[in-house]
Amino acid sequence: MRFLIDAMLPPGVAEDLLANGHEAVTPEGLGAQDLSDEQLVDIATAEGRVIVTENASDFAYCRFGRSLPASPSRNTSDRIDSSGVSIPASL
C-alpha cells in the first residue's frame, strides 16, 4: 500500500511502514512543509495514497464538506505508538 503520513505524526510511523514493505512518505519527504489538509488530500488522491493521521475528521471536511462524528472507541487521552496503534490511556 501507499501511504502519506500527516506531519503531526512522528517520522517513525513512515519508517515502520517502510520496514514492513509499504511505500510511505511524509510531506517533508516530498520536499514540502506546512501544507494545508486540502493540499494533502490533493497529493494523496493524485498519487493513490492513504492518508495516515490523527485528525480524520478534518480531512473528511476537506473532502466531503462535513466532519466525521467522534469515534466512540478512541478516547482523546489515548496515545499513539510509533506504528500508529492507539494505546488506551488506562494502560
Look at residue 56 and tell me if it is in a domain.
Answer: yes
pLDDT at 42: 86
Measured CA to CA, the distance from residue 79 to residue 50 in angstroms comes to: 21
Look at residue 43 and tell me if it is in a domain.
Answer: yes
Look at residue 73 and tell me if it is in a domain.
Answer: no
- β-sheet bridge partners, residue 86: 80
User: Tens-digit pLDDT profile for the chain (91 aa)?
Assistant: 999 999 889 989 999 999 999 999 998 988 887 888 888 888 888 999 998 988 777 666 555 554 444 554 544 555 555 555 555 555 4
Domain that holds residue 47: 2-67+78-86
For cell 517533508, the residue is 28
The number of domains in the chain is 1
Look at residue 72 and tell me if it is in a domain.
Answer: no
Pairing state between β 2-5 and 23-25: parallel
For cell 493540499, the residue is 39
Contact 6, 40 (CB under 8 A): yes
Residue 65 backbone zone (phi > 0: left; psi -120 to 50: alpha; other: beta):
left
